[in-house]
Amino acid sequence: MKKIAIFASAGGSNFRAIYNNIQRGYISGKIVLVISNNPQCNAIIFAIKKGLEIFIVNNTRFPDTNIRDKLLLQTLLKADVELICLAGYMKLLPRGIVKEYKNRILNIHPALLPKFGGKGFYGMKVHEAVIASGIEESGVTVHLVDEEYDHGKIIAQKRIEVRPEDTAETLAKRVLEVEHNLYPKVVKVFCNDRVVWKNNHPIIEV
């Protein structure tokens, strides 16, 4: 079973989706670490409730950036983490971690990247931008993480219709349902080592 670290900053609904799919045997993995910059977030509350190891890393606890980044990497290595899954994590990962875990860091984004991605595009802001643009479809993207926000190679996408009557809130609700379905499927593939690389691009079946 792959040892997984979850990074989350808020509600952690995708974290819970991954956890639940592990519990029912769909994903051959084990969550060994839950990392957050927000000690009060629901993701951390859920992790504590389930008896998972947590690690809080933020500017308040570790003001020195170099020390903070080094300690975070050491914590991941000590836990023998093999796969990192970002689940609503609001911070850019340190370059050292991106390098150490190249092609082993996943993130999910509530839009069809490269549209509506990058710094500042997160949560409801994404859906508000989609509605304001007037486009007829949105969706979900799972991608590899690199040194830039929402920039890594795309692993999988799922499209949904943007209905004429949609608001940011109604669109967000439908997109989230797709997220909870797609992300565990991609994590399952990675845990089963079923990623095929062609022309420097990951190919998977979900």
Catalytic residues: 109
Torsion sign, CA atoms 158, 24, 26, 74: positive
Alpha helices in the chain (DSSP H): 13-23, 42-49, 65-78, 95-100, 124-133, 168-191
Structure tokens at 186: 């991609």
CB 39 within 8 A of CB 56: yes
Q: What is the rounded distance in angstroms from the CA atom of residue 57 to the CA atom of residue 70?
A: 11
Structure tokens at 115: 């549209």
Structure tokens at 29: 């993995």
Q: What is the rounded distance in angstroms from the CA atom of residue 151 to the CA atom of residue 46?
A: 29
Q: How far apart are the first and last CA of the chain?
A: 19
Q: What is the rounded distance in angstroms from the CA atom of residue 108 to the CA atom of residue 57?
A: 21
Q: What is the rounded distance in angstroms from the CA atom of residue 95 to the CA atom of residue 100?
A: 9
Q: What is the rounded distance in angstroms from the CA atom of residue 116 to the CA atom of residue 125?
A: 9
